[in-house]
Amino acid sequence: MKSAELVAKVGNPYFRPFGRLESIPENSLNSAIKYAVSKKVFPLFYDGCLKNQLQLPEEADVLMAHYRRQREKQIEAAKLLIDIQEKLDCNLMFFKTFRPFNYIPDDIDVLLYDENSLKPLVNELKNHGYFILKIGTPEIVLRKIEKGNYVDLDIHKRLAVGSLDLFEVKSLWQNHAYELIRLGEGYEATKLSEDYEVVREAAYSLLKDFNLSIAGLYLGINAMLNRNLAVIRKIAVDENFSMHLSLYLNLVYNITSELFGPETRILMRYERKGASVITSLCKNLRVPYPYPIPVIVWAYLSKAILEVNRNKNVGVINQIMKQPASKGINVLLDYVRELSA
């Protein structure tokens, strides 16, 4: 069993792998650990190994302890952001950072309601030991290093992929596209709602990452098991991501069936809708699943066409024309160069 398949099966928080796992060779398990770290799902893989009674090397326990410390630092940073938010009387919303399973991200992503709050927020963070690490198109990345550990904060002015806006920021607050979560010690954080997170994941996977990640697979499974898909579909339609969501959910449905058996289809309660032609281009199912180039191109065109026709947003064309300067398009161009080499 390849590392990718082993990690995706064992780390899945919703379905148990079928078959016996006790006989996995030590070198395969070590390779899987490295792979899980590289794909940002090690805590999930670690939990899955314990559930399936797989004997892990001591190094895995040490690594998990590091992740737990990292998460503690991230929660402390989130509480600091909430304190600063109240001090500056500004609004911010966490996204990608808190998921319905044991996911520990590399950084904390925060979206500002008003980009005029950015400078005062950054200045306050500098007073607490943070420094600017990178300035991107829609965000500024700050870092704090303390006792050999660091925390990164991505402060977003827009919820965008490079130059392309995905959601209109103020409408997220107006539409109450958020929910409150408790962080302990009386702290409550505002985060993008789980339903919107599914749509955001679908959009990111196609327009930014160009692949369906293992964590993205788990988020889609959670949506099918625990969320109201009709509500999620309505959000996707309203935000001009209907095709993106349909393709994403269809792939999650098909890949999960491949990994865990066809009986999982009954549990996921998913009614296949839309994207049938586009989905037919996505073959050789695996995770992470790399989207074919024609599918990525169609994803951009679909968003642009709907924005122009429905919202009269001709500015989206200019945004897409600027995309070659973004990190995501450079990844895609590198992929094209590899194929043509």
Beta-bridge partner residues of 156 = 111, 139
User: Does residue 82 surpass a pLDDT of 60?
Assistant: yes
User: Does residue 339 surpass a pLDDT of 60?
Assistant: no
The contacts of residue 286 (CB under 8 Å, 6+ apart) are 4, 5, 255
- Category of 151 on φ-ψ map: left (φ > 0), alpha (ψ -120 to 50) or beta: beta
The tokens of 74 are what? 């991230």
Give the pLDDT score at 330.
Answer: 54
More confident residue, 326 or 221: 221
Give the pLDDT score at 245.
Answer: 95
Distance, CA of 313 to CA of 311 (rounded, Å): 5
Give the pLDDT score at 147.
Answer: 80
Coil, strand or helix: which one is 278? helix
Task: Assess contact for 332 and 293: CB atoms under 8 A.
Answer: yes
More confident residue, 22 or 80: 80
Give the tens place of pLDDT for each residue, 286-338. 889 998 888 888 888 888 888 888 878 777 777 776 664 455 555 555 554 55
Task: Assess contact for 289 and 212: CB atoms under 8 A.
Answer: yes
CB atoms within 10 A of CB 212: 26
The tokens of 144 are what? 């704090």
Q: Can you tell me the mean pLDDT for 122-149?
A: 92
Give the tens place of pLDDT for each residue, 135-145. 987 889 999 99
For residues 144-160, b (16+ Cβ closer than 10 Å) or e, as one string? beeeeeebbbbbbbbbb
Give the domains, in start order, of the chain with CATH numbers: 1-56 (no CATH), 71-192 (3.30.460.40), 195-340 (no CATH)
Q: Can you tell me the mean pLDDT for 182-191?
A: 96
Give the tens place of pLDDT for each residue, 149-182. 899 999 999 998 878 889 999 999 999 999 999 9
Distance, CA of 213 to CA of 44 (rounded, Å): 14
Give the tens place of pLDDT for each residue, 85-114. 999 999 999 999 999 999 999 999 999 999
pLDDT averaged over the chain?
88
Q: How confident is the model at residue 21 (pLDDT cuts 50, 70, 90)?
A: low
More confident residue, 220 or 282: 220
User: Does residue 35 surpass a pLDDT of 80?
Assistant: yes
Q: How far is CA 169 from CA 32, 115, 134, 202, in A?
A: 39, 10, 22, 18
Q: Can you tell me the mean pLDDT for 111-125?
A: 96
Give the pLDDT score at 311.
Answer: 79
Give the pLDDT score at 325.
Answer: 46
Span of 53-57, 100-104, 210-214 with lowest mean pLDDT: 53-57
Task: Assess contact for 264 and 15: CB atoms under 8 A.
Answer: yes
User: Does residue 340 surpass a pLDDT of 60?
Assistant: no
Give the pLDDT score at 20.
Answer: 63
Give the pLDDT score at 286.
Answer: 85
Distance, CA of 42 to CA of 165 (rounded, Å): 31
Q: How confident is the model at residue 285 (pLDDT cuts 50, 70, 90)?
A: confident
